[in-house]
Amino acid sequence: MSPADDAGNASNQEELGAGILEKITQLLASYLEQAKAGALPVLPHAAPDAMLERWDLPVPALGKGMEEACALLKRTLAQSNHLHHPRYIGHQVSAPLPLAAACDFISALLNNGSAVYEMGQVETVMEAHLVRWIAGLAGFEAELAGGLFTSGGSLGNLTALLAARQVIGKRKGLGDLWRDGYAPGGPRPAVLVSAQAHYCVSRAAQIMGFGEQGVVAVSTDAALRLDPAALPAAYEAARLAGREPIAVVASACSTATGSYDPLERIADFCAARDLWLHVDGAHGFGAALVPQYAPLLEGIGRADSLVWDLHKMLRMPALCTAVVFRDKTHSYATFAQDASYLFEGSAEQEWYNLGQRTIECTKVMMALKVFVCLQVYGTRYFADYIAGRYALAHRFYEVLRTSADFEAPVAPQANIVCFRHVPAEVPAAALDALQSSIRQKLIGSGKFYISQTRLPGGVHLRVTVINPFTQDSDLQALLTEIRGLTADGAQSGSAAARLRH
């Protein structure tokens, strides 16, 4: 191929890209209207093997052009989980704002990875201002606090706990674990974690080499919140096992039930024993925006670190997580490596080269969508959205609580409600199987998407009221549908029994 041919081919591809933007915009606008109106199944469910076969497409040597691209995008939209559908009430994944999604497109087109300032100067300063704003919401002193954005709550919790290991590990006589590793035969660190904490906290501790015994579960109270009264026993149990506790991880709020741990009392315990307090606020930190719910976070200003997934209750596309430290110097303790081809000075000197403080060496422009949406909508929009979703979950709980054939073991503090269908004719031993069966039938029908979880009382159905389009009528329809599914199952069972006899 001649240089002229090569240039012409590149130009044609750029024209294809420019032309397809308008078509994609029209396609997405039509899709959003259908999803918001509930005109699509929430999830057109297919078994994994069937989906794998359905998408077994050849990779062509020569491209097929714009029509094929649009056809593939239509298929993708049609066969995906529709989070903008009013009856998507499943996992803690938001229906993102279209403006935020458009910002992600700009980020992808610019492709300015922000690990190095010169490759992402606008993103870097946006991120710095947003971290300062979040620190203020937490009650940290703005000039002393600091942090960064990273790709999801799992990396966020790991980043914070790496800092805890380095800072508290040195104070507890464990040495410089980042540089030297664990001394043979020496004490190993441990973290104290609620039995209801997200699994990524245990995963982070095990990635850091703590092992399973380095994650010490702390029992919960009747509301499934970490019980501060149980912390001393967990602490002593860890030490008797040859472990040196360095941190307590509190949830604000927990993933399964949306329960907020009592942060003030946990902070008292940490202060008395020189422990790092990390708050996993991935889902629930947004309550800080709402005066009515901000008291749920009382004590968070005493935390050493926190994480917030803005792709949950701030309606950003995933992934977009802030890790904020009360003492910004601790954010530089997480990693300490030389890379002269990227960095000239120390991490403290080069606050603007975020790759010295993050796991990612290439980091997308996460702050862009948050910064733009806050400028356009203002914090009041997001506060009203969060307050509305929390209130709807509380109303749903009251309906469940006053229904003879449903039970809800925990009054929601956030927008997560766990419940069971307990019709009188179903024996207690069969209730776990019933909940799982109900969920599978709901998903298979495409009418609703919900999740499930196991609590001390058994398997429970779980609803996350995160969708801005979900209304009371949708939740009432869910209960009606569940009753119908159970009644149909009972009739089928009776018919089968008659046939056997």
Span 68-104, pLDDT tens digits: 989 999 999 999 999 999 999 999 999 999 999 999 9
Q: What percent of the chain has pLDDT over 70?
A: 91
Task: Give the pLDDT confidence score for residue 254 in this predicted structure.
Answer: 96
Mean pLDDT for the stretch of residues 394-404: 98
Q: Is the preceding omega at residue 319 within 30 degrees of 0, hence cis?
A: yes
Distances (CA, A) of 48 to 52, 438, 487: 6, 20, 29
Helix, strand, coil tally for the chain in percent (to 5): 50, 15, 35
Q: Provide the pLDDT confidence category of residue 500 given band limits of 50, 70 and 90.
A: very low
- Taking the CB of residue 376, how many other CB atoms lie within 10 A of it? 11
- Whether 348 has a pLDDT exceeding 80, the answer reads no
Task: Give the pLDDT confidence score for residue 495 in this predicted structure.
Answer: 37
- To 5 degrees, how large is the angle CA 40–CA 44–CA 45? 155
Task: Give the pLDDT confidence score for residue 16 in this predicted structure.
Answer: 58
**Cα separation, 334 vs 208, whole angstroms:** 12
| pTM for this prediction | 0.92
Q: Under a CB-based contact definition with an 8 Å cutoff, are residues 132 and 148 in contact? A: no
Mean pLDDT, the chain, rounded, equals: 91
- To 5 degrees, how large is the angle CA 260–CA 433–CA 474? 60
Angle between helices 366-401 and 98-110 (to 10 degrees): 150
**Cα separation, 194 vs 248, whole angstroms:** 9
Number of C-alpha atoms within 13 angstroms, CB side, residue 390?
A: 25
**Cα separation, 319 vs 176, whole angstroms:** 31
Mean pLDDT for the stretch of residues 57-61: 91
Task: Give the pLDDT confidence score for residue 342 in this predicted structure.
Answer: 37
Strand partners, 249: 193, 278
> CATH number of 108-375: 2.40.10.10, 3.40.640.10, 2.60.40.10, 3.40.50.150?
3.40.640.10
**Cα separation, 446 vs 36, whole angstroms:** 15
**Cα separation, 352 vs 375, whole angstroms:** 22
Number of C-alpha atoms within 13 angstroms, CB side, residue 118?
A: 4
**Cα separation, 407 vs 171, whole angstroms:** 48
Nearest residue to 239 (alpha-carbon basis) of 218, 219, 214, 220: 214
- Whether 11 has a pLDDT exceeding 80, the answer reads no
List the structure tokens of 11: 């130009």
**Cα separation, 331 vs 283, whole angstroms:** 22
Q: Under a CB-based contact definition with an 8 Å cutoff, are residues 198 and 307 in contact? A: no
Q: Domain residues of the chain, as ranges?
A: 108-375
Q: Provide the pLDDT confidence category of residue 17 given band limits of 50, 70 and 90.
A: low
- Whether 337 has a pLDDT exceeding 50, the answer reads no
| 426-477 tens-digit pLDDT | 999 999 999 999 999 999 999 999 999 999 999 999 999 999 999 999 999 9
Q: What percent of the chain has pLDDT over 90?
A: 79
Task: Give the pLDDT confidence score for residue 362 in this predicted structure.
Answer: 87
Q: Under a CB-based contact definition with an 8 Å cutoff, are residues 435 and 460 in contact? A: yes
Helices (H), 111-152: 121-138
**Cα separation, 137 vs 144, whole angstroms:** 14
Max alpha carbon distance in the chain (Å)?
83
Q: How far apart are the first and last CA of the chain?
A: 79
Of the listed ranges 9-18, 54-63, 129-138, 320-329, the one predicted with least confidence:
9-18
| 112-131 tens-digit pLDDT | 988 889 999 999 999 999 99
Counting every residue written for the chain, the total comes to 501
| 97-114 tens-digit pLDDT | 999 999 999 999 999 988
Q: Under a CB-based contact definition with an 8 Å cutoff, are residues 435 and 30 in contact? A: no
Strands 276-280 and 305-309: parallel
Helix (H) or strand (E) holding 307: strand 305-309
- Bigger pLDDT: 176 vs 80: 80
- Whether 490 has a pLDDT exceeding 70, the answer reads no
Q: Provide the pLDDT confidence category of residue 335 given band limits of 50, 70 and 90.
A: confident
Of the listed ranges 13-17, 280-284, 303-307, the one predicted with least confidence:
13-17
